[in-house]
Structure 1
Amino acid sequence: MGETVAAPVRRVRTQDQAAAVVGRIGAAQVQLSRLKASLDVAVAQANLAYETAAAPLRTAIAADTELLRGYFDANRASLLSGTKKSVALSTGTMGVKKTTAKLVVADADTLLTLLEEDRKLRRFIRTKSEVDRAALLAEPKVAVTIPGVSIEGGDDAFFVKPLTVSAA
């Protein structure tokens, strides 16, 4: 990978020079791809090493947490007084906390129909109004006459696409 990149042409004057520049871009893109692949391999190896080292620690933490949970549940009345939900130990704290409530809906369409049919339950339906950006872009001449609306981009963008050869 010790390839050197040729000195850039200050100004392209001929089609041959343009072809050479596109070729350089293609070669640089291949080098970038190789570097990225090398990085991906290194990251995968580091992740594997981490997971291998972390697995027994996670297992030990889970087992010790279950040990503490058993002790806590068996002695909750003596450990917690009044409205306390935790107990301080010399090495840390253990206790209980309220989990976040989670709504589970078996069939959203059926629920929506049910809510729409019952006047008292309609308050549980949310109606959302938002700007239809796609419609505004579809009619740009009208859109730009609306205060606060402008359309950016939509211009020709220059691109370079070197020929690529599969590394396989």
Structure 2
Amino acid sequence: MDETVPARRPAPTRVRTADQAAAVVGRIGVAQVQLGRLKAAAEVAVAQAKLAYEEAAAPLRAKVSADTELLRGYFEANRASLLTGGKKSVALATGTMGLKKAPPKLVVADAGALLTLLEADRKLRRFIRTKNEVDQAALLAEPKVAATIDGVTIEGGDDAFYVKPLTVAAA
């Protein structure tokens, strides 16, 4: 016996009436709600995966830190015999340990006071950076003047079509 599924009427390729427009806006609203749910579910899955990772990684991090301190103690106690001939590292059967130069780090307690001090001394002004850049907000605030400047074009500003379906906040 051949069962036929009733043919579903295809969505109109053009909206011709206000009722059709309302139906399309409704479909858009339903799809947006479904997209929101999918995004929320993905965010929950990512958060759960991060939590599981952090829980699994915490004891391993603690073990690495403790073992590193054990090696640091051995290295410091035997530094003279391990680093001969200007060497900075020691090759072991399972890896390498050694010293490396940490990059210098600048710490400024009060940036405002430092800037004032640098500005006051001509010899120290070279440590002040001056940044010149186009103020795009000012140009957009005066589009008629801005459009007369070579190399400046004001684009957009046209009406943009939008659809905003009615939504009910999820509880």
Q: TM-score normalized by structure 2? A: 0.89
In the other structure, the counterpart of 2:66 is: 63
Distance 1:88 1:148 in 2: 60
In the other structure, the counterpart of 1:28 is: 31
The equivalent position to 1:116 in structure 2, one of 114, 119, 124, is 119
CA deviation vs aligned residue, 1:36-84 (integer Å, no higher than 9, x gap): 1211221122112111111111111111111111111111111112332
C-alpha RMSD over aligned residues: 1.5
In the other structure, the counterpart of 2:53 is: 50
In the other structure, the counterpart of 1:154 is: 157
Distance 2:84 2:162 in 1: 71
Distance 1:130 1:82 in 2: 53
In the other structure, the counterpart of 1:18 is: 21
Specify the SS of the correspondent of 1:88.
strand
Query: What is the percent sequence identity of the aligned residues?
Result: 79
Alpha-carbon deviation of 1:153? 1.8
In the other structure, the counterpart of 2:130 is: 127
Distance 2:130 2:164 in 1: 46
The letter of the residue matching 1:50 is Y
Q: TM-score normalized by structure 1? A: 0.90
Alpha-carbon deviation of 1:7? 4.3
Alpha-carbon deviation of 1:144? 2.5
Distance 2:10 2:46 in 1: 33
Deviates more, 1:81-90 or 1:26-35: 81-90
Distance 2:163 2:36 in 1: 16
Deviates more, 1:13-22 or 1:130-139: 130-139
Stretches of structure 2 that go unaligned for 5 or more consecutive residues are 1-8
Determine whether 1:144 maps to 2:153. Answer: no
Distance 1:33 1:13 in 2: 29
The letter of the residue matching 1:71 is Y
The letter of the residue matching 1:18 is A
Stretches of structure 1 that go unaligned for 5 or more consecutive residues are 1-5
In the other structure, the counterpart of 1:107 is: 110
